Amino acid sequence: DKIDNDLSDGRRFLVGDQYSMADLVATVLLARIHFGKQDTVFSDKVQAYWQSMKSEILSPARQFYIKWRILIP
pLDDT greater than 70 at residue 8: yes
pLDDT grade for 71, boundaries at 50, 70 and 90: low
Query: What's the whole-model pTM score?
Result: 0.64
Residue 68 has pLDDT above 80, yes or no: no
pLDDT in tens, 27-64: 888 888 887 777 678 888 988 888 888 776 656 666 66
- Write 53-59 long-range contacts (CB < 8 A, 24+): 53/19, 53/23, 53/26, 53/27, 54/27, 56/19, 56/23, 56/27, 57/24, 57/27
